[in-house]
Amino acid sequence: MRTWRDKKDDMMTNRKLLALLFLSFAFLGACSNTKNHTGHSSKNQLSQGSKKKKDTISSESSPTKSSSSTSAKSETSAPKLEIPAAEQDLDIAAINQGDITTLVGKWQNGRGETVIVNPDQTVKLIDVDGISSNSLNVYTVPDSENAFDIPYVAIGEVRAIATLNLYPIDFSNPNGDQSDVSRPRLVLTQNTMNFPADLYYYRVN
C-alpha cells in the first residue's frame, strides 16, 4: 500500500518535470522575441535605405499605423476578469484539514484559462478554447505550507500530478510576486517560482 510519503515523492518528481516545461516555454518565448526584434530591425534599415534613394517620408507612416493597430488589437483581445462583489479569502488551515469550502468556485487567469473547483473535491481545467479536462481529484495536504513555504493542494485522476498553489489575501509569493495580493489567488503548477502575472488565477462570478 502506497503511503502519503510515496505520494509526496511522486509529487516532488512531477514538480521538477513541470519546472523543466516552464523553463522550456520561457526559453522558446525569449528566442521568439529576439527573432521578431531582429526582423523588425532589418525592416527598419531597408526602409531607411529606400527613403534616402527616393527622398520620401511616406514609408514611415505605415509601420506606425501597423504598430498602433497591433497594440489596440492586443488590448481588446485580453480577457476581462469578473471580480466578485465580496471575495471570500482562502482558509488555509481548513483546506489543509480537508475542508475546501473557501476554495470552491470558478477561477480564471490572465490567459483566459479556467479552473473550476467543486464541493465534492473534484476539479476541472478549461483551456482558452473551452476544451475541458477530465474530472480530477483534489488531495489536501496537512501543513502543506511547510514543504515549499507556499500552501497547496494536489490534483490528479488516480494520483497527484500537479498542484494548485494557494495564495490568500496579503500573502506574497516568497519567490517574487507579480500578482494582486489584495485578492486570493491560485497557480496551477508543479513548481515554485516567480510566476508571470497572467499565470495567477483569480475568483470570478
Quote the percentage of the chain above a pLDDT of 90.
53
Amino acid at site 68:
S
pLDDT digits (tens, 9 = 90+) for 153-167: 999 998 899 999 999
pLDDT in the model for residue 38 = 41
Mean residue pLDDT of the chain comes to 75
Residue 187 CA to residue 165 CA, distance in Å, equals 5
The answer on pLDDT for 1 being more than 70 is no
Report residue 48 as a C-alpha cell. Answer: 531607411
pLDDT digits (tens, 9 = 90+) for 100-137: 999 999 999 999 999 999 999 999 999 999 999 999 99
pLDDT in the model for residue 84 = 56
Helix residue spans in 55-106 (DSSP H):
58-77, 92-96
